[in-house]
Amino acid sequence: MVTSHVDTATRRHAGLVEPVVTFLVATGMAAGLFWLARGVSFVGEVLHGAIALIFLLGPSYAARFSGRPSTIGQQVLAWRRSS
């Protein structure tokens, strides 16, 4: 199968948009949690864990939303099929 330069450029651009948007959304959620934690003590107590979960699970949810494999096992299987 031969791919054109346009197909490759489109895939590269689409591949960059998802992680950047995911990072911006996760950063916004973390900032929102920070400001919420200033008023709600329970949120302040679990803030570090909540932010860690946002940044750990965010890429998985973004992949699932875009239709790509969303777990490491699914990603390995997809990689093996493409090789």
Dmax (CA) of the chain: 58
The answer for residues whose C-beta is within 8 angstroms of residue 40's C-beta and 6 or more apart is none
Residue-range definition of the domain harbouring residue 76: 5-82
Q: What is the pLDDT of residues 6-54, one digit of tens each?
A: 455 555 555 788 888 889 999 999 999 999 999 999 999 999 999 999 9
- Overall pTM surpassing 0.85 (yes/no): no
Domain tally for the chain? 1
Cβ atoms of 4 and 28 within 8 Å: the answer is: no
